[in-house]
Structure 1
Amino acid sequence: MDKKLQFSGLWAVILGGSSGFGFAAIEKLAKHGMNVAVLYREIAGAEKILKTKFTEIAEENGITILPHNINALDTVSRAAFIQQFADIAEKGSVKLLLHSIARGNLKPLTIENGTVEDEAYNELSIEDIQMTTYAMSNSLLDWTRDLLKAELFNADGRIIGLTSEGAHKYWEGYAAVSIAKASLESLAKYMAVEFAAYGLKTNVIQAGVTETASLKKIPGSDKLIKAGIKRNPLGRITKPEDVAGVIYLLCTDESFWINGAIIHVDGGEHCR
């Protein structure tokens, strides 16, 4: 059997696929015949370039890519997307829901010796934490429920979230994201148990330090990259395609018994 047809007729719904892990996953899954509905937020100029890339990937691999420049965190937008998508995709055809949304506040918990105005702008607020946690964790539950209600999930569907080492140790300015990632790991555990009744397997990938647009926004990201190279037994940091390869593996028939796991994809970086 031609591996490019391995996922023929099946779909991936990728939340946050304009760059980084999400985009790399699209490239990888397309090579194996999986159609993709991708959601992202981009300005007009960047979206034009992105759509050209999607067209090239789709034509090269003989699959369909449906780009949607919408807010995946908005209830109305989510409902509209699922309604439109259900007119295109067959029931039971969504093999993968990949949550790759990188949207959060990168502020410290406190600003020493700052003015009131500085504190209001620069200190992490409870609202910042709530927004970040919904964006990078809890929204996965809403998407899962709505795709289930629309009967779009495959009987052997896969749900994958993305976490980081920053959920377990201190990174400068990373508090809100750390809280969100820790929440995601806990949520995925419960989803693994409670959505198993629908045949869904829920797992989380902990990627190593990866030079993405999201990483560069973190204060001191250059230090994280240097430390990652030094710590990694294989002598380099993680690449998006490294993670995309494991996302593909988690969609295969052979991985059907992996459920509720946090999978390190970092070349052994976490061992040091």
Structure 2
Amino acid sequence: MVRDFEGQWGLILGGSSGLGYASALKLAQHGMNLIIFYRAPRRDEQKIESKFDKIRAQGVELYAFNKDATREDLLEDLKTLVKEKLNGKSINLLLHSISKGNLKPLLGDNRLKNSDFTQTLNSMALSLHFWTQALIENDLFEKSARILSFTSEGSQRPSAGYAAVSVAKAALEMLTKSMAVELAPLGLRANCIQAGVTDTVSLKMIPDYEGIKNHATNRNPYQKLTTPERVADVVYLLCKREAQWINGTVIKVDGGESLR
């Protein structure tokens, strides 16, 4: 296997499962060293570390921290960790794969409150902004570095119980487009990946999980769900030199699911 990213470094926010983990493994297979922040109960750390061993087995450096990357009050300490582990190197990729939102309806006893919207928006969209700013201010980005994040069809299509996440995903897409324009003088590229319905831990938390899976399978031209590995393939492609002119886009990775 060609190791396209030998010696490069990626910072992944949310890399212990799903799209983030699949992307980390794919990038490591091509030589990229990684710093990963994830959020999990302490009881799950050993199981997660065993998954990370598979990444380390690819012959790369990996530093993983069970710390909440969405908390702006922790940013200074987390940034210091990143600088220490980079040891003078620069970041070639910032991948935002944070799934921390409130799945509640707009009406009823358990309806969404303003605080639910605020938490979801901060975690799933604005955290990308404050991490990007922190890396820029500390001159930690390599020139032509990539800033990637994951959105969903929910940014345009409503679904019961998904309103707060829909708002956050729509904001994430517009934030990415603004970054693509305003950060271009620094040589940075920013893009979103819109994955099709993917059977992940995050999907299982959405109301009517089984119904969503069945509907997505039926409307997909290939009669299949999107997999984390297929999405990771596109993360890999967008990190390649040949993808340097792709900037400010929302790239659908769903096998055509959203067409129907």
Fold agreement, TM-score > 0.5: yes
Mapped contact 1:91–1:151 kept (Cα < 8 A) = no
Higher deviation after alignment, 78-87 or 236-245? 78-87
Q: Over the residues paired in the alignment, what is the CA RMSD in angstroms?
A: 1.2
Q: Distance in 1 between matches of 2:143 and 2:88?
A: 10
Partner of 2:34, secondary structure, is: strand
Mapped contact 1:202–1:260 kept (Cα < 8 A) = yes
Does residue 252 (structure 1) correspond to residue 252 (structure 2)? The answer is no
Does residue 108 (structure 1) correspond to residue 105 (structure 2)? The answer is yes
Tell me what 2:68 maps to: 71
1:54-74 deviation per Cα after TM superposition (whole angstroms, max 9, x unaligned): 12321x211011011111012
Tell me what 2:9 maps to: 11
* Alignment equivalent of 2:91, drawn from 79, 94, 97: 94
- Name structure 1 gaps, 5 residues minimum: 112-118
Does residue 203 (structure 1) correspond to residue 203 (structure 2)? The answer is no
Partner of 1:151, secondary structure, is: coil
Q: Distance in 2 between matches of 1:85 and 1:103?
A: 22
Q: Distance in 1 between matches of 2:103 and 2:72?
A: 24
Map 1:99-248 onto structure 2 (within 5 A): 99-111=96-108, 119=109, 122-248=110-236
1:158-194 deviation per Cα after TM superposition (whole angstroms, max 9, x unaligned): 0011111111112110000000000111111101100
| Superposed structure 1 runs of 4+ greater than 6 Å apart | none
Amino acid of the structure 2 residue aligned with 1:100: S
Q: Distance in 1 between matches of 2:43 and 2:191?
A: 35
Mapped contact 2:193–2:251 kept (Cα < 8 A) = yes
Shift of 1:90: 4.7
Mapped contact 1:11–1:93 kept (Cα < 8 A) = yes
Q: Distance in 2 between matches of 1:255 and 1:179?
A: 29
Q: Distance in 2 between matches of 1:74 and 1:168?
A: 27
- Name structure 2 gaps, 5 residues minimum: none
Amino acid of the structure 2 residue aligned with 1:189: K
Partner of 1:234, secondary structure, is: coil
Q: Distance in 2 between matches of 1:271 and 1:91?
A: 45
- TM-score, structure 1 as length reference: 0.93
Amino acid of the structure 1 residue aligned with 2:197: V
- TM-score, structure 2 as length reference: 0.97
**Rg (Cα) greater in structure:** 1
Amino acid of the structure 2 residue aligned with 1:188: T
Mapped contact 1:39–1:69 kept (Cα < 8 A) = yes
Aligned residues: 260
Shift of 1:76: 3.5
Mapped contact 1:172–1:218 kept (Cα < 8 A) = no
Partner of 1:250, secondary structure, is: helix
Shift of 1:246: 0.2
* Alignment equivalent of 1:34, drawn from 32, 35, 45: 32
* Alignment equivalent of 1:261, drawn from 230, 234, 249: 249
Partner of 2:86, secondary structure, is: coil
* Alignment equivalent of 2:48, drawn from 45, 50, 54: 50
Amino acid of the structure 2 residue aligned with 1:264: K
Does residue 85 (structure 1) correspond to residue 82 (structure 2)? The answer is yes
Q: Distance in 2 between matches of 1:238 and 1:254?
A: 24
Q: Distance in 1 between matches of 2:41 and 2:118?
A: 25
Shift of 1:77: 2.2
Tell me what 1:114 maps to: none
Percent identity of the aligned residues?
45
Shift of 1:134: 0.7
Mapped contact 1:90–1:152 kept (Cα < 8 A) = no
